[in-house]
Structure 1
Amino acid sequence: MSAQALLAPQGVWFEAPERWMSDAVHLVVIGAGGNGSEVVDCLASFHHALISLGHPKGLNVTIIDDAVVREPNLVRQRFWPCDLGQYKAVALANRYNLMLGLDWTGLPYRFPGPETEKAIARADLIITAVDLPSARRGLAYYGGYFKPSCMWLDLGNGHRHGQAVFGMTGPAERLAVDHGLMHLRCARHGQRHRPAVGQFEDDDVGIRHTEMGNGAVRRCSSCCR
């Protein structure tokens, strides 16, 4: 892996609320593509494990994605030929509802929008698994209601790298706590940044790991205005 990963000790702790031990934990997954569909599959396994270990209610998951399953999605995403033409979010929710007797929800809409407000307002944890930084900014600058304790896990990957960023949803409390997040060096100004997820522009997706081999980005919104 050619990108530079600079890890620093973090003095931040997140504790699960006590009610997670007795109530259903409400999760929202935004994006049901390569990462999102894998995450939903893992959440189904995790829910089953929680119930088997005695948790009274397990997980309640809402999946948000307005895309439909196409032929290329069958290669690298959690979909099968029988899913072709269906909304990804609905296909995943129906699958695990039938398999495990759940009541998960698939919302075939784009976030943000009025159809997703209720799910976001109920969420204990929001997982974003989207392609473009603009979609992440939609959550970073979301004007609707969040639970005060709602947390945010952002997932993403390129051809040879990936990242998982965990923090809070509220702008005042948000902390970019990373598990392997890279410090990025702007190729134009040489400055190193550890940017918040919501700061990236769509052009910043081109983190030039393979082209530059030194953890640099073409342009970053922290110092390129």
Structure 2
Amino acid sequence: MRTPKKNIHFLDNYLLSPTNPIRVNVIGAGGTGSKFMTALMEINHSLLELDHPGLDVHLWDDDIITASNIGRQRFAESERNLYKSQAIINRLNRWAGTNWKAVTRKFERNADGKIPDYTGASIYISCTDTVASRIEINKILQKLSKDYSYHRDNAKYWLDLGNTKFSGQGILSTIGNIDQPTSKKFKTFAKLPSIIEEYGTAMQTSEEQDDTPSCSLAESLAKQDLFINSTIAHLGASLLWNLLKDGMTENRGFFLNLQNFKSQPITVGS
């Protein structure tokens, strides 16, 4: 009896052996984004130790740090009233000697509908909390993949991280098709669907997100459990780390329920 081939996605060929740091855009510096950035610093350091050129990260967020952010998100009392993106980037640059950048604006098109020139990157990580923001990101990425396909930092992957109070998910997708090598051992997949392609209609139908800012930590904890963001961030970082380290993945995401401590992988091809 012939053993069925394992479903695999191979990392984009350039990202497998890059000659320059990989440009990464992280969108959102709140509960998940602030924790993910620390993990990204660890990924960068580990890649450098493996003679990889590392990462060039830009963090996008126009929010200001308030009292409700301190404790659940990775901010200190001394950082209150600073931009979230600047506080995190300044801290990480001092810690790790990096030259990462903070962008104190939303990741969105300009008023005239055009995309800012500096939005280009190979990998996008979204840590936002609304369906509308994900739809906007998806539109930008689709346009970037067409208009900047010749550029070294053309859009290749989108990792979306999201959660409710006790549950969440991470979905890794390709932006367009990624050329795959011929393999006798694996069944390869050039396309990994995005969260919008798979769940966009259901997300728009079921969204009941309360966007009213929390005034205290207690109010924040009523909306999202204390450790849901950090757990989602670390699972997402592990998915990205393994893809960059191994050059391949058999999983394209995960579902998590922190209330019953269950995590379910989303396999390539499923």
Same fold? TM cut 0.5 = yes
Q: Deviations over 1:157-190 (max 9, x none)?
A: 111211011112349x863268xxxxxxxxxxxx
When normalised by structure 2's length, the TM-score is 0.59
Runs (4 or more) in structure 1 with deviation over 3 Å come to: 9-12, 113-116, 146-149, 197-203
Report the CA distance between 1:98 and its aligned residue. 1.2
Q: Deviations over 1:12-63 (max 9, x none)?
A: 61423335533211100000001111111100111111112222x2111000
Q: In 2 relative to 1, CA 10–33 (structure 1 residues): closer, same or farther, beyond 3 Å?
A: farther
Q: Quick one: higher RCO (CA 8 Å, sep 6+), 1 or 2?
A: 2
Q: Could you say which residue in structure 1 is the equivalent of 2:72? A: 76
Report the CA distance between 1:201 and its aligned residue. 4.9
For residues 158 and 44 of structure 1, what CA distance do their matches in structure 2 show?
Answer: 26
When normalised by structure 1's length, the TM-score is 0.70
2:207 to 196, 205, 208: 205
CA RMSD, 1 decimal: 3.1
Q: In 2 relative to 1, CA 40–53 (structure 1 residues): closer, same or farther, beyond 3 Å?
A: same
Please say if 1:41 is aligned against 2:58. Answer: no
Higher helix share: 2
2:85 to 65, 71, 89: 89
Q: What is the letter of the counterpart of residue 70 of structure 1? A: T
Are the counterparts in 2 of residues 152 and 167 from structure 1 also a CA contact under 8 Å? yes
Give the 3-state SS of the residue equivalent to 1:139 in structure 2: helix
Please say if 1:107 is aligned against 2:124. Answer: no
Q: Could you say which residue in structure 1 is the equivalent of 2:168? A: 162
For residues 54 and 199 of structure 1, what CA distance do their matches in structure 2 show?
Answer: 43
Q: What is the letter of the counterpart of residue 108 of structure 2? A: P
For residues 174 and 120 of structure 1, what CA distance do their matches in structure 2 show?
Answer: 22
For residues 164 and 91 of structure 1, what CA distance do their matches in structure 2 show?
Answer: 25
Q: Could you say which residue in structure 2 is the equivalent of 1:5? A: none
Q: Could you say which residue in structure 2 is the equivalent of 1:136? A: 134
Are the counterparts in 1 of residues 174 and 194 from structure 2 also a CA contact under 8 Å? no
Report the CA distance between 1:198 and its aligned residue. 4.4
Report the CA distance between 1:196 and its aligned residue. 2.7
Q: In 2 relative to 1, CA 10–119 (structure 1 residues): closer, same or farther, beyond 3 Å?
A: farther
Give the 3-state SS of the residue equivalent to 1:110 in structure 2: coil
Are the counterparts in 1 of residues 158 and 194 from structure 2 also a CA contact under 8 Å? no
For residues 88 and 11 of structure 1, what CA distance do their matches in structure 2 show?
Answer: 39
Q: Which runs of 5+ in 2 are unaligned?
A: 150-154, 178-189, 210-256, 258-270
Q: Could you say which residue in structure 1 is the equivalent of 2:193? A: 176
Are the counterparts in 2 of residues 140 and 197 from structure 1 also a CA contact under 8 Å? no
Q: What is the letter of the counterpart of residue 125 of structure 1? A: I
Q: Could you say which residue in structure 2 is the equivalent of 1:67? A: 63
Q: Deviations over 1:93-148 (max 9, x none)?
A: 11111111111010010121349733422x11000000001000001122742354
Q: Percent identity?
A: 26
Report the CA distance between 1:10 and its aligned residue. 8.6
Q: Could you say which residue in structure 2 is the equivalent of 1:3? A: none
| Mean CA deviation greater in 19-28 or 73-82 | 19-28
